[in-house]
Amino acid sequence: MEYKVKIDSFEGPLDLLLHLINKLEIDIYDIPAAEITNQYLLYVNTMHQLELDVASEYLVMAATLIAMKSRSLLPDHSSDEDEYLEEEDPREELTRRLIEYKKYKEAAIKLQEREEERTKLFSRPPADVLFAPSGEGPLNVSIYDMLGAFQKMTRRKKMAVPRQATVRREEISVEARMEVLLKTLKEAKEPVLFEDLFQSNERDELVASFLALLELMKQNEITVTQQGNFADLYVISGGKQ
């Protein structure tokens, strides 16, 4: 069942074909019918073997490709011009579709870049006093206006208030910090400045480090010294004598 989603990573048979064209480094205007058909069928067969749910579009395309391949194997009737003009070359039709599709696939990439850029810009909610009742008259809004406003809101940032940090500290375990700090202090031959033990800017890590130091003091694994009021604190491994 998990494999079902795999097909999503190719956006349909045209996408798969573009992938193959790139991989085989062949000319989109001169697709070798036999080679591309074999490769394509190999993919579709593999999907079957892996018990993927092959969407019908893939099978339709497979049929088209097989027709294209068999046509390319037939003797060339191009001398009979009237007959030749009557039906469109399936290869040309496929090329046309691939080029059309590729155009939008590229546009999608450009949109994605813009979308990412947009996520770096933030605004603030409109002030409560503004945009008061718009008066009488029929309401001319749609559900899409509401969804649009909702999206705008989700793009705004709500700043984390300090009290949330204490909830999050559990993510970094105090035990882990105790180990790290003890190792640091043992390796340092001399007392370490208290501040130097707090290298991170992550609030939860700072909190974990602080709790770890308290715990180590309690367990008499480290000693904290201070020369006088407001003087620097130094930490050294080993308990009080």
Partner 1 sequence: MTNESIIESLLFAAGDEGLSAEQMASVLDVDVQTVRNVVEQMAETLLHDETRGVTITKYGTEYRMMTKKENASFIQALADKPSPKTLSQAALETLAIIAYNQPVTRMEVEDIRGVKTERPIATLAARGLIEEAGRAEGAGRPILYATTNEFLDAFQLNSLDDLPPLSEGEVSIQQEADLFFGRFEEAMDEMAEE
Residues 148-207 interacting with partner 1 (rule: CB under 8 A): 148-162, 164, 201, 203
- Residue in this structure with the two tokens 């105090």, named with its chain if needed: 174
| Rounded-to-integer distance, Cα 47 and Cα 52, Å | 5
The answer to the question of residue 25 lying near partner 1 (CB under 8 A) is no
Q: What is the dihedral of CA 43, 48, 50, 53, to 10 degrees?
A: 100
Q: Under DSSP, is residue 135 helix (H, G, I), strand (E, B) or coil?
A: coil
Which residue among 63, 85, 129, 231 contacts partner 1 (CB under 8 A)?
129
Comparing CB distances to partner 1, the nearer of 85 and 139 is 139
Region near partner 1 per CB under 8 A, out of 50-58, 72-80, 169-177, 211-219: 50-58
Comparing CB distances to partner 1, the nearer of 110 and 189 is 110
Which residue among 76, 85, 87, 119 contacts partner 1 (CB under 8 A)?
119
The answer to the question of residue 121 lying near partner 1 (CB under 8 A) is yes
Which residue among 63, 73, 74, 132 contacts partner 1 (CB under 8 A)?
132
Q: Under DSSP, is residue 132 helix (H, G, I), strand (E, B) or coil?
A: coil
| Rounded-to-integer distance, Cα 69 and Cα 72, Å | 5
Give the list of residues 6+ apart from residue 135 with CB closer than 8 angstroms, or none.
Answer: none
Closest by CA to 237, choosing from 221, 215, 226, is: 221
Region near partner 1 per CB under 8 A, out of 68-76, 122-130, 185-193, 208-216: 122-130
Residues 81-110 that bind partner 1 (CB under 8 A): 97, 99-110
CB neighbour burial string for 92-125, b if at least 16 within 10 angstroms, e if fewer: eebbeebeebeeeeeeeeeeeeeeeeeeeeeeee
Which residue among 77, 79, 85, 125 contacts partner 1 (CB under 8 A)?
125
| Rounded-to-integer distance, Cα 96 and Cα 121, Å | 39
The answer to the question of residue 1 lying near partner 1 (CB under 8 A) is no
The answer to the question of residue 48 lying near partner 1 (CB under 8 A) is no
Question: In the complex, what is the shortest distance from the CB of residue 214 to partner 1, in angstroms, rounded to a whole number?
Answer: 20
Question: In the complex, what is the shortest distance from the CB of residue 97 to partner 1, in angstroms, rounded to a whole number?
Answer: 7
